Amino acid sequence: MVPFAAQSHLNQLLQMADVISSYDMPVHFASSTFLNSQVKSRASNSLQHLTKIKFHDLAIPPNRNPDAKTDVCKDIINFEITMGLRQQVAGLLRSLSLSARRLVVDFVSLPNAEAYAFNCVSAFSISAFQRKDLGENNNDMIKELYAAKSCSSSSARAITIVMGIMSYSKAGMLHNSCRAIEGSFLELLANDNSSGEKMWAVGPLHPMTTNFKGLRDHHKCLLEWLDEQEPNSVLYISFGTTISLSDEQVKKIALGLEKSGVKFIWVLRDRDKSHHFSTEEGRKIDLPNGFEERVKGIGKVTRKWVPQLDILGHPSTGGFLSHCGWNSCMESISMGVPIAAWPMQWDQPYNALLITKVLKVGVPVMEWSQSDEVVTSSRISKVVRRLMASEEGHEIRKRVVEMAKSCSSSSARAIAIVMGIMSHSKAGMLHNSCRGIEGSFLEHLANDNSSGEKMWAVGLLHPMTTNFKELRDHHKCLLKWLDEQEPNSVLYISFGTTTSLSDEQVKKIALGLEQSGVKFIWVWRDRDKSHHFSTEEDRRIDLPNGFEERVKGIGKVMRKWVPQLDILGHPSTGGFLSHCGWNSCMQSISMGVPIVAWPMQCDQPYNAVLITKVLKVGVPIMEWSQSDKVVTSSRISKAVRRLMAS
């Protein structure tokens, strides 16, 4: 992966790298020593596979324009930097060519490589640029962009055009977006695509949940202060890493926040140094005299980098005053936080229109035609209160929370999409299945295959017999207990290693099992620690008072890993209450054990339909349309008895 030299591009490409590397696919991340160091130091706490990514430090070419004074010139320097890395990246590709054939490119398309262009801007803004340049004025929303287009600098437009040219010969286009947010505009781009290239919406790439425990050592005061606030009561303010505001505007913001009376966290620092060539010290931004003293207890001003995603994901955060960079927009929407839109440059005016006029999940600070004026403190105060303390703001918040739920399911689908991309030019496809289970569907895939690639069903990959003797030393009590039970009398319960259930749902399961009277082995621990690199302790899950004492002799609750295949293969096991992960389905069917299907995410709902409706080797716990509800203990008891005692 070769990112453009800007923080938001680095963030998004790193998230993409994390997703791909989670499938044990090698990822090489090539950038300057400075940027690699920066991206690793600012990496989200929730990136699970950072140590799997191979970072390559590239030498920065000489600065052709050391006297650049304007922000646009500095951005063009970053463009020239990326162009200057071309030969070094080509050399890296040559060194990897014996084992790697695919490249995800954020900016520069290289010859003789299968390249995917990664868009770090919205599909809406790309569509707007392309359609106006083509003179197609029939889209009402695009017409509203004329003012925004005319206010974009010629240099900014030039870089955007060059980006399009450089990615012209790509194998496909990746968008950090999802159809829940930009469905119609992704369709617009697809319809305008005359080259036949593949297009994928792979976002949101950032995690859909946050991990506060791992952050408290570094941001203890900030997050503890958030913990003390009311839900949705705090406004988060940040203008990214490439924006400089005038001293006058900074003071107006401060006074506006003070007038509003709304609690806030304000990330106030000047734009990042001009990345590579700047020797300047970070500018010290002065606030009005006594401001920080007056807002003590109401607001926090921080002059250092903060974990934005974790702040947006905190229950106390109720709004985001933002420059509308696309990465910030995606993070805010996916966390269910409405936006006060204050665009500054580039694609930001387009994103602001998308937020305020199309999706209606935010309010504008001002019209773009007034963007060269200083925004007054009274206007800022009014906008803040409109978002945070009005009926309109409440309705906007409800709307964005609903959109966040859609984003969550899109994020799960994005992982599957990435898998599809990575196998785009494969020699063949291997399926961990067999024709005895999925013959008709394997035929269906083969018939839909237009590329002529080979397809094999290579399952079942796990052993078809079990060896209890070898296990007894490690699981003596559990397997001895199974030996004492009647054939087909024990229900095995496990939800895999990536599923977390709420405390309420755990208690309902416990009561349902108790009510059913069926013997059981319940593997219950919270989802595996964040896989590889987390130092957090497992969450201790509380069962109903006295539950384990009451079911002694009837059931076993295991909080550690167990040999699932051997339990399923035991003669006493007669059913499996499962999340319907494919591996679990295959193991259960091959051992002749029927399933109570309780799908949670990803491919699991499809697997559950296969199990209950097609193969008819299981019963559903509920309809998928009810999957966001807590399943009652009586429903659980009924489903268990239906499988085990009917």
Residue 106: the pLDDT is: 47
Report mean pLDDT in 10-residue bins for the chain, 646 residues.
69 76 79 76 59 81 48 46 70 72 50 62 66 44 49 48 49 73 73 69 62 49 87 93 82 95 88 43 74 92 84 92 89 91 85 88 87 90 95 92 72 50 54 67 69 63 50 64 92 84 90 94 64 44 86 87 84 93 85 92 84 90 85 94 93
What length is written for the chain? Answer: 646
Structural domain ending residue among the three candidates 141, 174, 201: 201
Q: Is residue 392 part of a domain?
A: yes
Q: How far is CA 559 from CA 141, 471, 493, in A?
A: 55, 18, 12
For residue 163, what are its two tokens?
A: 């980006």
Give the whole-angstrom CA distance, residue 522 versus residue 513: 10
Q: 284 and 138 share a domain? A: no
Structural domain ending residue among the three candidates 402, 423, 440: 402
If you ran DSSP here, which 8-state letter would residue 624 be given? Answer: G
Dihedral angle, C-alpha 607, 610, 611, 617, nearest 10 °: -160
Q: 31 and 128 share a domain? A: yes
For residue 560, what are its two tokens?
A: 């550690």
Q: Is residue 409 part of a domain?
A: no
Kind and range of the H or E run holding 150: helix 146-151
14-35 as b/e: b if 16+ CB within 10 A: bbbbbbbbbeebebbbbbbeeb
95 in Cβ contact with 109 (< 8 Å): no
Residue 455: the pLDDT is: 67
Q: 308 and 192 share a domain? A: no
Q: 226 and 173 share a domain? A: no
Structural domain ending residue among the three candidates 201, 234, 269: 201
Q: 365 and 488 share a domain? A: no
Q: Is residue 631 part of a domain?
A: yes
Give the whole-angstrom CA distance, residue 425 versus residue 306: 40
396 in Cβ contact with 404 (< 8 Å): no
Residue 6: the pLDDT is: 61
Residue bearing tokens 């083509």: 134
Q: 182 and 276 share a domain? A: no
Look at the chain and report how many structural domains it folds into.
Answer: 3
Instruction: Name residues whose C-beta falls within 8 Å of residue 88's C-beta, 6 or more positions apart in sequence.
Output: 30, 58, 59
Q: 482 and 392 share a domain? A: no
Q: How far is CA 518 from CA 194, 319, 405, 484, 525, in A?
A: 61, 49, 36, 15, 21
Give the whole-angstrom CA distance, residue 206 versus residue 19: 9
Q: Which amino acid makes up residue 55?
A: F
Kind and range of the H or E run holding 264: strand 263-267
**Helix locations, 335-434, DSSP H:** 348-353, 377-388, 391-422
Q: 229 and 188 share a domain? A: no
The secondary structure of the chain in percent helix, strand, coil, rounded to multiples of 5, reads: 45, 15, 40
Q: 80 and 121 share a domain? A: yes
Q: Is residue 439 part of a domain?
A: no
Q: 173 and 272 share a domain? A: no
Give the whole-angstrom CA distance, residue 416 versus residue 107: 24
Q: How far is CA 139 from CA 126, 144, 185, 188, in A?
A: 14, 9, 11, 11
Residue bearing tokens 């697809």: 190
Q: Is residue 437 part of a domain?
A: no
Where in the sequence is the domain holding 391, given as residue range(s)? 217-402
Residue 485: the pLDDT is: 92
Q: Is residue 235 part of a domain?
A: yes
For residue 425, what are its two tokens?
A: 């030019």
Q: Is residue 419 part of a domain?
A: no
445-477 as b/e: b if 16+ CB within 10 A: eeeeeeeeeeeebebbebeeebeeeebeeebee
Q: 192 and 315 share a domain? A: no
Q: Is residue 467 part of a domain?
A: no
Q: 163 and 223 share a domain? A: no
Residue 74: the pLDDT is: 46
Whether the predicted model's global pTM rises above the 0.75 cut: no
587 in Cβ contact with 567 (< 8 Å): no
What is the CATH classification number for the domain harbouring 618? 3.40.50.2000
Q: Which of 241, 239, 8 is nearest to 119 (CA)?
A: 8
Tell me how far apart the 2 most distant CA atoms of the chain are, in Å.
84
